[in-house]
Structure 1
Amino acid sequence: MTVENEDAKLTLHRSVVLVGMMGSGKTAIGRALASKLNVPFLDSDAEIVEAAQTSIAEIFERDGEAFFRKREAEVIERLISGEPCILSTGGGAFMSEGNRKTIEEKGVSVWLNADLDLLWERVRHKDTRPLLCTTDPYQTLSQIFAERTPVYQKAVLSLPVQDGASIDETTDQTISLLLTRPEILERME
């Protein structure tokens, strides 16, 4: 896909799959990035919720995490099999070796790397995070963060998420990062 920019055309050659912890900004940055690049924005969690006609928390409670992860893998495979897009994934999606392989074959992974304090600030007042429905949600988030960070580090690209940066600023930083890889995003002068 090619999009006119102020000074040049930007062409997205491969789907960009945003990975990272809950609260890192995958959905907000994904929407803004897709808009700026004039490509579709897709959200694997939203697709699962729509297909199941129930919330992710209810799927976890009713069917278990293993069932959810299987559906998630099927959805990710389907969503990145088409034209280049921006895909936001759930926080645990990248933990699956099969998902990582699918993402690298058909797109490129970008880790939105937010620190633990920023993540806590963003998610602590939300009740839509099934993994944080514990007696000590901060401790749970901290444990998940410690377990997942080494796997997120396997992403092809990593963007440090700055506390206080706006969605537009983080989106522009993401575009700059992608432009370092012309096989992914290319500026056509």
Structure 2
Amino acid sequence: MFNIVMIGFMGTGKTVVGRRLAALLKKRFIDTDTEIERITEKTIVQIFAQDGAVRFRSEESLLVKKLEDQDNLVISTGGGIVLNPENVVSLKKNGILIALNAPPEVIYQRVRHKRSRPLLNKGDALIKIKELFAEREYAYDVAEYRVETGDKQVDEVVQEIILYLKNKYNMRI
């Protein structure tokens, strides 16, 4: 059994889609941010504020290494996890990478009231989203399949992924 790994920019729906997908496929769900918070006993905001982005990225890489030999998981990743090529290698070792994408304006509407986004806590959030989005968009090309989530309901996105898995891997669901 392989893992399904949700990648993409913040606010594209990785966690909510991943959780629903895991339930339907009877796989265990792991959200890397939540797992890092559990392991470090700090929130992501605290890690960024107290220890910096480098420490957070280090925690992500350690977690990905721990997950690379596990299977039957749906993993929702942080938006920047694929910026490290070693993380991509680890995630692909036993996983199918599915990228979720949405326009920056949709992402802004989804995340604008969340204070748990350390990269957006300073300045104009929409401008920061557009800047980060432009910087990172190429990084999600490592995915095997990409789903546009901007104008779709969660169940539509989940069904699109399931249809892809059925057709490509003959999965019975």
- TM-score norm. by structure 2 comes to 0.95
Structure 2: which 5+ runs fail to align?
none
Equivalent residue number for residue 112 of structure 1: 100
Equivalent residue number for residue 79 of structure 1: 67
SS in 2 for 1:175: helix
- Percent of aligned positions that are identical: 34
Distance 1:63 1:42 in 2: 23
SS in 2 for 1:110: strand
TM superposition shift of 1:178: 2.0
Give the alignment's Cα RMSD to 1 decimal. 1.4
Distance 1:153 1:100 in 2: 11
How many residues align structurally?
Answer: 173
TM superposition shift of 1:137: 1.3
Equivalent residue number for residue 176 of structure 1: 163
Max Rg structure: 1
TM superposition shift of 1:162: 3.8
Distance 1:132 1:60 in 2: 12
Structure 1: which 5+ runs fail to align?
1-12
- TM-score norm. by structure 1 comes to 0.87
SS in 2 for 1:111: strand
Checking the alignment, whether the CA contact within 8 Å between 1:17 and 1:110 is kept in structure 2 is yes
Distance 2:113 2:148 in 1: 23
Checking the alignment, whether the CA contact within 8 Å between 2:4 and 2:97 is kept in structure 1 is yes
Checking the alignment, whether the CA contact within 8 Å between 1:42 and 1:79 is kept in structure 2 is no
Deviations 1:7-36 (A, max 9, x none): xxxxxx310110001100000000000000
Checking the alignment, whether the CA contact within 8 Å between 1:18 and 1:109 is kept in structure 2 is yes
Checking the alignment, whether the CA contact within 8 Å between 2:108 and 2:125 is kept in structure 1 is no
Distance 1:162 1:62 in 2: 33
Distance 1:96 1:179 in 2: 30
SS in 2 for 1:42: strand
Aligned equivalent of 1:67, options 50, 55, 67: 55
Distance 1:180 1:63 in 2: 44
Checking the alignment, whether the CA contact within 8 Å between 1:15 and 1:80 is kept in structure 2 is no
Aligned equivalent of 2:90, options 102, 117, 122: 102
SS in 1 for 2:167: coil
TM superposition shift of 1:154: 2.1
Aligned equivalent of 2:81, options 80, 93, 117: 93
Distance 1:82 1:135 in 2: 40
Equivalent residue number for residue 3 of structure 1: none
TM superposition shift of 1:73: 0.9
Q: What amino acid sits opposite 1:177 in the alignment?
A: Y
Equivalent residue number for residue 125 of structure 1: 113
Q: What amino acid sits opposite 1:101 in the alignment?
A: V
Distance 1:79 1:118 in 2: 31
Distance 2:48 2:22 in 1: 29
Distance 2:168 2:54 in 1: 35
Equivalent residue number for residue 23 of structure 1: 11
